[in-house]
Amino acid sequence: MASSRPTVGSSASNHSRRRPTQFSTVFVSTAIAVSLIIGFAAGTRGADILALIGAPFGVEVSTKTLDLSSLQETYRKLDARFDGELDANALIENANKGMVTATDDEYTQYFTESEAKQLRDDLSGNIGGGIGAEIGMRNSQPTVIRPLKDSPAAQAGLKAGDVVMAVNDTSMRGSTVDEVVQNIRGKIGTTVKLAVERDGEVKEVSITREEIVSPDVETEVVGKVGVITVSRFDRSTAQKVRAAADDFLRQDVEGVVLDLRGNGGGYLEAGIDVASVWLEDKIVVSERRGGQILDERKSAKNAVLGTMPTVVLLNAGSASASEIVAGALHDHGNATLVGEKTYGKGSVQELIPLSSGAELKVTIAKWYTPKGKNITKQGIAPDEKVELTKEDIEADRDPQRDRALELLK
């Protein structure tokens, strides 16, 4: 994986130069449970994910250096006086993490070798041992958005709206979605204990982890309307969406719903290629740094659904690549947006391999919709706001989807 550098957007780009793969995820406000099944997170890890680059491929390298004498002084005095054994690798890893955290950018992160592998697994849907629940931030607290049908979480009685207070007796107050998910995950067949707050009461529940498989694309036809649900943008997502579009046309559908709810993002190129199913040789997104346009990314020239009436479903868990697709389709007049305001992740990251096996995820630019809007912390507002309440979920109702289908009748 690290040895390949596909041309950005492949057929979806009109540029011939090669560039590193970029990613747009958050996994974010809704990291489809990483322990669970991602949606990667809050930045999926969330999601603008993975630009595998390095010096051999022409990546920019700074010639600046830091004076680390104070760090060495701290280490030597710590080593001389500390009553216990020091783990040198742990000290180095945490020093790296601390330096990167000091950028004060939530999407610029340092991943250890094992964390980087987990990030790639998240994006590909290889979640491993989890409980099958979607976790997101609600009122600044990690909350169960929904347990998946027939999942261990559902069978154990977890419900939408449950606030995760502790995992295996470790408090989750102030934790990110990623941190909660990482604590919930574990080996298949092992048990995890959750303390959740529901209606003012704290309940404890033990759940046996199972293998959780998260499909990136699911489709169905409802009457004369085709529904495509995209849970993340990985390398094969666009191919599956295009195949679904071709199948819809063979079935003579008269409208399409693109459901991006809870989709925290993924590969930027995948988002551009998905948009190309609707857009014909049009700007999907532009990348800017300091107000200067670095690049304009265009769709391919085979928009099989270019004239198809389309509704895109969104919510607070729709982030990054999801927002890029929704913004492009909306700005070009190819889709109506229904649901709730999106997360608001308007930056692009690259993941840079380091010699130690660790990886550095760095914010390199801001992205803008075709009409020049950056949605950082603002999100994309739907044309028609339709809320999905806790009561709706518990009653197995989906007024957002119902409204989308109604608009296409």
CB atoms inside a 10 Å sphere around CB 303: 19
Classify the phi-psi angles of 166: left when phi > 0, otherwise alpha if psi is within -120 to 50, otherwise beta. beta
Report the C-alpha gap between 236 and 216 in whole angstroms.
Answer: 9
Report the C-alpha gap between 229 and 57 in whole angstroms.
Answer: 35
H-helix or E-strand spanning residue 273: helix 268-275
Report the C-alpha gap between 307 and 344 in whole angstroms.
Answer: 28
108-120 in b/e form (b: 16+ CB < 10 A) is bbbbbeebbebbb
Question: Taking each helix axis from N to C terminus, what angle separates 321-331 and 268-275, rounded to the nearest 10 degrees?
Answer: 30
Structure tokens at 198: 């529901």
Helices (H) and strands (E) in the chain, counts: 10, 23
The answer to whether residue 124 is catalytic is no
The answer to whether residue 377 is catalytic is no
The answer to whether residue 396 is catalytic is no
Is the separation of the CB atoms in 14 and 119 below 8 Å? Answer: no
Q: Which of 240, 345, 361, 366 is catalytic?
A: 345
Task: Give the three-state DSSP class for 47.
Answer: strand
Q: Is 329 exposed, middle or buried (0-12, 13-18, 19+ CB in 10 A)?
A: buried
Nearest to 271 by CA among 137, 123, 115: 123
CA dihedral 309, 245, 220, 126 (to 10 degrees): -120
In sequence order, what are the residues at sequence separation of 6 or more whose Cβ sits closer than 8 angstroms to the Cβ of residue 25? 40, 41, 43, 44, 45, 46, 47, 48, 49, 123, 232, 233, 264, 265, 266, 319, 320, 321
Using only the alpha carbons of the chain, give its radius of gyration.
Answer: 22
Q: Which of 24, 35, 214, 320 is catalytic?
A: 320
Tokens 């997104």 belong to residue: 285
Task: Give the three-state DSSP class for 142.
Answer: strand
CA dihedral 111, 116, 119, 121 (to 10 degrees): -160
Q: Which of 13, 331, 347, 361 is catalytic?
A: 331
Active site residues: 320, 331, 345
